[in-house]
Structures are given as structure tokens and as C-alpha cells.
Structure 1
Amino acid sequence: MTYTTPTSESGAADDTMRVSVLHPGGSITEERRPIPAPGPGDVLVQIASVGVCGSDTHYYRHGRIGEFVVDTPLVLGHEASGRIVAVGAGVAEGRVGQRVSIEPQRPDPASAESLRGDYNLSPNLDFFATPPVDGAFAEYVTIGSAFAHAVPDTIGDDAAALLEPLSVAIAALRKARVGLGSAILVAGAGPVGLLCVQVARAAGATVIAVSEPDDARREQARRHGATHVFSPPDRPDPGVPIDAFVDASGVPAAVRSGIDAVRPGGGVVLVGMGADEMTLPVSLIQNRELTLTGVFRYANTWPTAIALVASGAVDLDSLVTGRFGLAEVPAALDSDRVAGSIKVIVRPADRTLRGGTS
């Protein structure tokens, strides 16, 4: 195994790395840990950029998401990119030096779900930054070689990291069966909602309506391809039946309003993380024969995501509103409370960036 040996502040060779660690109770510390060695079939990635996700902020503020509880120290961050610096047994040495986007999961390849292609639903799956599995707010991580996707140099490090939330949007739009001439309604213009807008536009949707209470985010949605934007509870008539509704808000009222808007035989896809339970209009779903489904991460999306960004059909860099060093992770996690913030990036190679966008 070979990689560029990091050095300490004194200039001496160092086999440790810096990591940002969330502790039970919500405190965050910067620590040094050994650089992990790639096992058979793995690659070692030197991390360049990590996007901050709503799940990261939820673990930071609440210590849990459903059954997943931060009861031991945890490294957050699962939207990551970097460069392969070493490979494990069975991986071609030629991969060293490749720039990659990380698909942050390790499914059980022998599970029934993996064998039928739904590896994201594998019951024995390790996912970055989901307790007890550490994530990518670190200088190095290991991942299975097949889940380190090579990216062209036309895709920058930040955009390569954001191929992960783009994959969520691709999975949602596939479930919604959005295509040429479709009319779609999206609730929520946060990062995933805005990416759903861009993917719908790339897929050929001709009506893309977005419900979002924040003025600045509605304008973002319009810039990214929304044909109609409005603030709930308003819902202007786009003039055509809505084929599919995608909820990227997690707000029960938004879900109910969106279901009401869908034509008979249409689809409803729940993406946003919100209430664990909500009341749904069962008779309306039955009478209109609506197809209602959830989305749990993604499977087989990275090639599509890379192609969309490389072709210019989807713009990820425009979503980035701030960048932070590893010592600034608490500020990065709280950036969603700053007006105008859409998506922020942590760059582990830097200690501080002060939230700047340069």
C-alpha cells in the first residue's frame, strides 16, 4: 500500500489524520486518529470536499434519527469526494491518483435485496455517518472500490461531493416516472428539492411547479428551471394535470396538499425527512389509484449523476453558498440557520475557511 505520507506541523512524517468527532450530548471536537488501511477490495481516499446534509445537522442537534442514536463518538458527513491514494488487495494499482465521488454505503452483496439490484435496501448495510458508522469529516476514508466513482476533471471537488444528494433526486424522479412532457409538483426548495427541479428539467418535464415558503429559495427554484413557484398554502393552477408529486419538505401539510393536486393514476414520492407518522387521505389515494412510495437513498444512480453534471444539464456548483475548514464543523452544521444558505461544504484539508465561498 502506498500513499502520500502526510506531515505534522513540525514537518515530520505522520501516519495519523485529523477528524471532526460528534460526541453524545452534542459537543464536537477535532481529534487525531490513525489513517485507515484499505482492506481487500477497498480504496483509501484523501477527502477533498464534504457536503453538509440535513441528517448531519439533525444528529448534531438531536442526537438521533429514528432508531439511529449517537450513543458513541461519531464522525459525520456522507456527501464526499476526493482522490484515491492507496488500494487494497484485488484493486488495480492504476486507480491510485483517480479523482472520485464516494457512494457512501457498504451493502451486503449476498443479500436478496442486493442480488435483485436494490442494494440500498440491504438489511446489513453500513452507511457513512449513520451510527455507529463513521463518515467523511476526516482527511481520509476507505470505501469499496466499486463505490468510489471516477469523475472527469470537468467536475470540481465540490460538485463531485454533491453527486450524492443529486443521486437522491435521481432516485426520486425515477420513482415518480417523470419524463418527456411530464407535469411535476415539488414541495420544498432546499438542496434536494432544487435538485429534483433540475433533474425534472433534464428528464423533459414541461411543467415544474414548486411550493416553498422562502422567497429566496423560490427564486432559486425558478433559476434552476421551475415553471411555476408559489408559497403555501397558495397553489396556482398550472393549466395541466399534475402527473407526479415529490415531497422534499417532510411537512405533513405539504404532503397532503401535494397528494390532492395529483391527477388520477399519478404518483406520489416521499423524500423529505419530517414527521415519523402523518395522516393520509386513504380514500382519495384509492379512488384515484395513486401510486405512493418512499425513497431510501439510492441505487445505481452515480453514472447518471456524473453524466448529467458533465453535460451541463445539472449545475451543482451554484448550490454552494459557503465553505468551511475542519475546525469549523460546528459553524458549518449551523449554517442552515443563516439566511440565503443552500448547501455548504467542509474541506478537511483546511483548518479554517470562515464560511467563505472562494
Structure 2
Amino acid sequence: MAPPSSTRTVRALVAHGAGDVRVEEHPAPVPGPGQVAVRIAYGGVCGSDLHYWRHGRVGDFYLREPLTLGHEVVGTVLSVGPGATGAPAPGTPVAVHPATPCGTCPECRSGRRNVCRAVRYLGSAAHLPHVQGGLVDVLVVPADQAVALPDGLSLLDAAVTEPASVAWHAVTRAGDVRGARVLVTGAGPIGALVVAALHRAGAAEVVVTDVAAEPLARAAAVGATTTVVVGPDAPAVDGRTPDEALAALEVDVAIESSGSPAGLGTCVRAVRRSGRVVTLGLLPPGDVPFPGNLVVTREIELVGTFRFDHEIHDVLAALADGSLVTGPVVTHVLPLARAAEALELAGDPRRSGKVLLDLTDDLDDDTAGGATP
């Protein structure tokens, strides 16, 4: 983190442990060499933020010190540190790419920076000290992580850039989906954004499953052609259980975005022989059962997808020209002062899709120092 200013403070949403998240005042940061300070306008509440709030951990990563949450942020460049040649000028609206890859590992050198083995990601407890997140009034990042918005794209509409880029990358991992029949398991914000990306990419049919009807309605609003409620109490589909009906689909591609072993099993059973299953949702820690023999006997391709890299530029362009429809995914925009309510809402998929925090109030524009390069 950049050195703090001694005279001004900013608000930050900080997790101290399970069930303990606070809005705090912190010293305002200033950009160092090669960095920019971004006045954050909006930040999305992600599933990882919910895990830190509820459990004090995400998978194998535990809170070992207070952590500022958030990595889905957009804002306006406030100031530029020395030597940040080519950085967006002060006043430029930007989306923040949350990853700082090492640039030297084999993955980075081969163009797979999204799986960098030493990456630092905003709002993550994977390292100690933790990488502090973006739900703060002023965020300092390397200049190349502040990506200027295309003309005409508002900060509010750009607030889904990070999760939409995750979804976009997942769809690229699926291959050419033009004219394809695709299954998406899980209609949370990421699943719905996968649907939007599939629709834009030309999928002919997009079938979406979820345990609740409300998320499925949002998926339908962004391009799902068929929605199916699943679970033990789900209604029959054409006289069959939902699982039987899905297994009969023989889709070309299945994208698992629920993060559940049951969803992965559904994908493997529903995809056609020699089809592809893309695993996007993070499964519970440890080994999980799934119908692996079907992968063998049907020669199914099973591929992972993790975060994103340069896709952020394509996503911003698609948001700007309207070809990537994401509006129905965002259901609530609350001020930072109501962060506790925002977390509760984001944790209830029947009541909400993507929940945004609005940080545009209560801060002047002279909070972080710096100079133009």
C-alpha cells in the first residue's frame, strides 16, 4: 500500500473476523512511483467478501489481520504518482483491474497471467500481509491497473466490469459457442453474467438452473432461453425429475457456476459425448465426489476457468456499445454507511442479484496527493 497522508482520512470497509465487518477511518493513501490514486465511486459485493464476513475465510485463506474488502471497483483518477508514464490523467473514469501478477513466473511469461502463481489480488487474505481491497474512498494501484472507460459508459454501468470479465473469460474457455446449446448451473450474479456473455457470443440456446426462482428470472432477463428450478422439492419437468430432464439435454457445453458438487454432477451428466464442461464456481475445500467415469467413457473435456486478464478491455467495449446486457443483474445500490445491510442483501439470492456500494458521498476531491508524471 502507498504511504499514507498525515492529515486526511478515508473510509474503508474492513473485516476483522467472522461476523465482524466495520466501516473505519484510515489515513488517506498517496500514490507512489508508477501508481495512481483512484477516487472509488462504486464497488460490488462479491461472494468472497461474503465468505470473509460470514466465516472469516475463503477456502483455505483465513483472516490473520484486518482486511479491507472488495475487488469489484470503479472510480475516477484523483492523482498520479511520479513516473507513471501513460497513466490515465486525473479526472479520467476508470475500472480497476484487481490483479497484480508477478510478470516473471512461467504462467505470466506464457500469457496466462490470470493463473500467476504469485499474483496479488485486491481484498485477499491469500498473502500476509493481506492485500487490502478496494471498498475504500481512495485506492492506490499500479497505473496499468486503472483502465479508462470508453466514452459514454457511466461509472454505475461499469461497476459490473470485474465480475463480467470473470464470466467473459469463462465463456472463452468454453470455445466457440455460436449456435450451441449451453447449460449454466447456478444463476447468481456470476451465473447471470455468464448467460449475458453467452447470449452476446451467439449461443443458440442457454438453459439455466438454480434452486430458487428469483435468480432464474434475472438470468432470463439477460438471455436465458430456458430456466429450471432444481433441488429436492423442485417440480417435475415434462413428467420427469429436473435431473432426468437435464440429463436428456445433451448440451454442447455446460458451465458450472454454482460452486456445488451437485451442480458439477449435473453438468457432467447433461453434456453430450465429447462435449465440454467448464468449472467456474469454487467448490468446497477438499475432495468432492462427481461422476468421473462419465468423463472417461464419454470423452468429456473438463476445463477450469479462473478470474481473467486482458478480457477487461473487451468487456468495457461491450458494455459501452450495449451488446453485453447486464442491467438486470444489479438489483441494489446502497451507500457505504449501509454496508451491513448490503452484505445481508447480497447473501440472500432470493432478495438480490448484484449489490453495489455507493462511495460517492462525503468526500472532497483533495484527499490524495500526487503529481502528473
TM-score by length of 1: 0.89
- For residues 117 and 204 of structure 1, do their structure 2 counterparts lie closer, same or farther at Cα, with a shift above 3 Å needed? same
Cα distance in 1 between the residues matched to 2:326 and 2:178: 22
Choose from 260, 263, 267 the match for 1:251. Answer: 260
**Structure 1 residues 51-60 or 27-36, which shifts more?**
27-36
Gaps of 5+ in 2: 231-240, 363-373
Q: Please tell me whether residue 286 in structure 1 is matched to residue 296 in structure 2.
A: yes
CA contact (8 A) 2:153 2:319 kept: yes
CA contact (8 A) 1:101 1:160 kept: yes
Name 1:80's counterpart in structure 2.
Answer: 73
- For residues 45 and 229 of structure 1, do their structure 2 counterparts lie closer, same or farther at Cα, with a shift above 3 Å needed? same
Deviation at 1:343, TM superposition (A): 0.9
User: Cα deviations across residues 280-338 of structure 1 (Å, max 9, x unaligned)?
Assistant: 22221012221112222112111110121112111223322112222221211111327
Name 2:102's counterpart in structure 1.
Answer: 108
Q: Please tell me whether residue 117 in structure 1 is matched to residue 114 in structure 2.
A: no
Choose from 297, 309, 312 the match for 2:307. Answer: 297
User: Cα deviations across residues 70-121 of structure 1 (Å, max 9, x unaligned)?
Assistant: 1211100110000011112222476221100011111101222111111121
Name 1:262's counterpart in structure 2.
Answer: 271
- For residues 197 and 338 of structure 1, do their structure 2 counterparts lie closer, same or farther at Cα, with a shift above 3 Å needed? closer
CA contact (8 A) 1:228 1:238 kept: no
Name 1:199's counterpart in structure 2.
Answer: 197
- Counterpart code for 2:64: D
Choose from 309, 314, 329 the match for 2:324. Answer: 314
CA contact (8 A) 2:212 2:350 kept: no
TM-score by length of 2: 0.86
Q: Percent identity?
A: 33
RMSD over aligned CA atoms reads 2.1
**Structure 1 residues 28-37 or 87-96, which shifts more?**
87-96
Choose from 279, 284, 294 the match for 1:275. Answer: 284
Cα distance in 2 between the residues matched to 1:204 and 1:140: 39
Deviation at 1:350, TM superposition (A): 3.1
Cα distance in 2 between the residues matched to 1:123 and 1:196: 25
Higher RCO (C-alpha under 8 Å, 6+ residues apart): 2
- For residues 274 and 350 of structure 1, do their structure 2 counterparts lie closer, same or farther at Cα, with a shift above 3 Å needed? farther
User: Cα deviations across residues 202-259 of structure 1 (Å, max 9, x unaligned)?
Assistant: 1111011111121122222222111111112515469974111101101211211111
Deviation at 1:149, TM superposition (A): 0.9
Name 1:33's counterpart in structure 2.
Answer: 26
Aligned residues: 340
Name 1:234's counterpart in structure 2.
Answer: 242
Gaps of 5+ in 1: 1-5, 7-12, 352-358
- Counterpart code for 1:197: V
Cα distance in 2 between the residues matched to 1:90 and 1:179: 43
Deviation at 1:273, TM superposition (A): 2.4
Name 1:141's counterpart in structure 2.
Answer: 139
- For residues 288 and 70 of structure 1, do their structure 2 counterparts lie closer, same or farther at Cα, with a shift above 3 Å needed? same
- For residues 88 and 223 of structure 1, do their structure 2 counterparts lie closer, same or farther at Cα, with a shift above 3 Å needed? same
Secondary structure of 1:298's counterpart equals coil
